[in-house]
């Protein structure tokens, strides 16, 4: 069934749209898989349906041996299921990604067209599948054989490899910042320098794969990270790491190399507030272009912080921010709305607490629980709390419904992003080098229109128009070659 040699491989991201605020980012996981497959195939093509002006049939021919699909999210499920089922039956199709791992049995039932599902990290299983010319005895793979589905055993998640990162010359699209669907023309890219997290915050599911396996922190070498950064032409780069700053000595080494190589870019990264313990590295980070730490605080209640096992108190946070404010970073804080036991009054203290810290940015999300979340048991045992069925697993209570939590979240944002603060945000982003004039105009416009009715449908319409425009440009470029 599996081809003895690979001629042409298609790597497909089968979504028309993602979340509003991330719809302009490249499909990094799929690009990692393409990097693994490329040395074994005569031709590898990466297709991002969000930007693709041509039907998928244009890329399929007699030489197409393998189609790989990345399913990370539940959204647009009916679209990508229909998409998969319309692919030619004779071509081997392998599905991977976070959602594919979570819904293995369902995907085999819904899609008779699927030959195999890779569970968890896909790089090493794909390498083994290609070299073994089949799925037998390849760990973390489920596949069809003689009308039944066979699940090969899982194995420990492997460490991150230095030599696997996207081959950007395979890209057919330009990824640019477009907050709220407002195009800026400013290129953005992503880098995965590590995976996993050593902490055990109870709300977090991203350091655990959908099989319930804990992903311990594993990192690429500083040299490998900087080698990839040298190949990127975008000025703004977001690190996808769950915890980029876990090893501050490693971060310092990356910064030393960036300065030595004179790589002048601006970086956005996830961080814990304890980075304040290393002011020596913080100084290097700012000098090397590290500008926007996304700091997960989750709550302004010590009771909730203990419940979530965050490992710090609100007094610790105040002390750490007194250090962080010295360096000129754009300090973006992240909070959860709907933590167990918190009242609306307690949630609405978030804007005041964030301003007290000197935070520049703030975002909120509702508490959600996935299959293997450590919070799932606590939610189920707490009287009056429920997990909404459906795609997001939103946690709500008898007194705070999902809709009310959404309204409270909006109120938190409105109370933080007052007009004078929006101006301050724009000014600091500009000084930091992140805020190109076009980005600032688009970001401010997005903030101002955020509170208008029917925002989601309006932004979705802008994204469709924007992607259609980009697709037409791509079609013109292809036809002129």
Q: Is the pLDDT of residue 311 over 80?
A: yes
Mean pLDDT of 215-226: 92
Rounded CA separation 454/24 (Å): 21
Q: Is the pLDDT of residue 451 over 60?
A: no
- pLDDT for residue 479: 46
Query: Which CATH number fits the domain 174-450, given the four candidates 3.40.640.10, 3.20.20.70, 3.40.50.620, 3.30.465.10?
Result: 3.20.20.70
Q: pLDDT tens, 33-89?
A: 999 999 999 999 999 998 888 889 999 999 999 999 999 988 888 999 999 999 999
Q: pLDDT tens, 3-21?
A: 888 999 999 999 987 765 5
- pLDDT for residue 468: 57
Question: Of 13-27, 83-97, 188-202, 365-379, which one has max mean pLDDT?
Answer: 83-97
Average confidence score pLDDT of the chain:
87
- pLDDT for residue 19: 62
- pLDDT for residue 203: 64
Mean pLDDT of 237-261: 96
- pLDDT for residue 213: 62
* Calculated CA dihedral for residues 319, 321, 323, 324, nearest 10 degrees: 160
Radius of gyration of the chain (CA): 23
Q: Is the pLDDT of residue 474 over 80?
A: no
- pLDDT for residue 144: 94
Contact 25, 176 (CB under 8 A): no
Query: Which CATH number fits the domain 6-151, given the four candidates 3.40.50, 3.10.450, 3.40.1130, 2.60.40?
Result: 3.40.50
| High-pLDDT (> 70) share of the chain, % | 86
Tokens (6 digits) for 334: 């992240």
Q: Is the pLDDT of residue 446 over 70?
A: no
Mean pLDDT of 323-328: 96
Rounded CA separation 116/96 (Å): 9
Mean pLDDT of 152-171: 91
Mean pLDDT of 218-242: 95
Q: Report the range of poorest mean pLDDT among 36-40, 133-137, 317-321, 373-377.
A: 373-377
H-assigned helices in 213-349: 222-230, 248-261, 279-288, 302-307, 314-324, 344-347
Q: Is the pLDDT of residue 458 over 90?
A: no
- pLDDT for residue 389: 73
Contact 262, 271 (CB under 8 A): no
Mean pLDDT of 111-139: 95
Q: Is the pLDDT of residue 366 over 80?
A: yes
All residues at 6 or more sequence positions from 320 whose CB lies less than 8 Å from its CB, including other chains: 273, 274, 275, 276, 277, 312
- pLDDT for residue 437: 76
- pLDDT for residue 16: 85
Give residue 481's pLDDT band: very low, low, confident or very high (50, 70, 90): very low
Rounded CA separation 459/21 (Å): 10
- pLDDT for residue 297: 96
- pLDDT for residue 467: 57
Rounded CA separation 479/405 (Å): 49
Q: Is the pLDDT of residue 226 over 90?
A: yes
Contact 470, 173 (CB under 8 A): yes
| High-pLDDT (> 90) share of the chain, % | 64
Residue 262 Cα distances to 45, 64, 286, angstroms: 32, 42, 14
Mean pLDDT of 253-266: 97
CB neighbour burial string for 380-400, b if at least 16 within 10 angstroms, e if fewer: eeeeebebeeeebbbbbbeeb
- pLDDT for residue 480: 43
Q: Where are the domains of the chain?
A: 6-151, 174-450
Give residue 393's pLDDT band: very low, low, confident or very high (50, 70, 90): confident
All residues at 6 or more sequence positions from 311 whose CB lies less than 8 Å from its CB, including other chains: 199, 201
Give residue 476's pLDDT band: very low, low, confident or very high (50, 70, 90): very low
DSSP 3-state helix, strand, coil percentages of the chain (rounded to 5)? 40, 20, 40
DSSP 308-333: TT-S--HHHHHHHHHHHGGGT---EE
Question: Of 1-10, 315-324, 470-479, which one has max mean pLDDT?
Answer: 315-324
Q: Which residue has the higher pLDDT, 237 or 1?
A: 237
Give residue 473's pLDDT band: very low, low, confident or very high (50, 70, 90): low
């Amino acid at each position: 069934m599996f081809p003895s040699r690979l001629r042409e491989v298609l790597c497909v991201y089968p979504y028309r749209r993602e979340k509003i605020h991330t719809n302009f980012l490249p499909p990094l996981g799929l690009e990692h898989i393409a990097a693994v497959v490329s040395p074994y195939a005569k031709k590898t093509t990466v297709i991002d349906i969000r930007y693709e002006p041509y039907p998928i049939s244009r890329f399929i021919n007699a030489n197409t041996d393998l189609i790989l699909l990345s399913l990370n999210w539940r959204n647009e499920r009916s679209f990508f299921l229909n998409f998969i089922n319309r692919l030619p039956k004779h071509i081997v199709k392998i599905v991977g990604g976070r959602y594919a791992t979570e819904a293995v049995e369902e995907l085999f039932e819904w899609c008779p067209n699927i030959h195999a599902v890779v569970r968890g990290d896909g790089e090493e299983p794909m390498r083994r599948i290609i070299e073994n010319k089949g799925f037998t005895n390849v760990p973390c793979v489920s596949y069809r054989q003689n009308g039944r589905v066979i699940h090969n055993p899982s194995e420990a998640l492997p460490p991150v490899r230095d030599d696997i990162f996207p081959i950007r010359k395979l890209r057919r699209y330009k990824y640019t910042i477009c907050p709220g669907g407002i195009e800026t023309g400013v290129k953005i890219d992503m880098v995965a320098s590590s995976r996993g997290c050593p902490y055990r915050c109870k709300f977090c599911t991203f350091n655990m794969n959908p099989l319930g396996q804990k992903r311990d922190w594993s990192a690429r070498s500083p040299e490998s990270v900087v080698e990839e950064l040298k190949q990127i032409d975008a000025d703004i780069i977001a690190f996808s790491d769950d915890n980029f700053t876990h090893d501050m000595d490693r971060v310092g080494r990356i910064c030393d190399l960036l300065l030595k190589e004179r790589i002048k870019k601006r970086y956005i990264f996830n961080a814990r507030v304890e980075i304040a313990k290393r002011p020596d590295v913080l100084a290097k980070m700012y000098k090397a272009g590290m500008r926007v730490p996304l700091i997960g605080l989750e709550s302004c209640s010590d009771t909730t912080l203990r419940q979530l096992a965050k490992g710090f108190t609100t007094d610790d946070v105040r002390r750490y921010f007194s250090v962080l404010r010295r360096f000129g970073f754009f300090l973006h804080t992240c909070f959860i709305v709907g933590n167990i036991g918190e009242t609306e009054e307690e949630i609405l203290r978030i804007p005041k607490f964030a301003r007290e810290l000197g935070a520049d940015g703030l975002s909120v999300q509702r508490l959600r629980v996935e299959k293997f979340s450590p919070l799932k048991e606590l939610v189920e045992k707490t009287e009056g709390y429920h997990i909404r069925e459906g795609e997001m697993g939103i946690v709500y209570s008898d007194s705070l419904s999902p809709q009310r939590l959404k309204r409270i979240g909006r109120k938190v944002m409105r109370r933080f992003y007052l007009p004078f603060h929006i101006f301050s945000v724009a000014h600091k982003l500009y000084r930091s080098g992140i805020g190109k004039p076009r980005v600032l105009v688009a970001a401010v416009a997005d903030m101002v229109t955020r509170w208008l009715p029917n925002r989601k449908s309006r932004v979705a319409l802008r994204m469709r128009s924007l992607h259609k425009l980009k697709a037409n440009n791509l079609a013109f470029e292809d036809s002129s070659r």
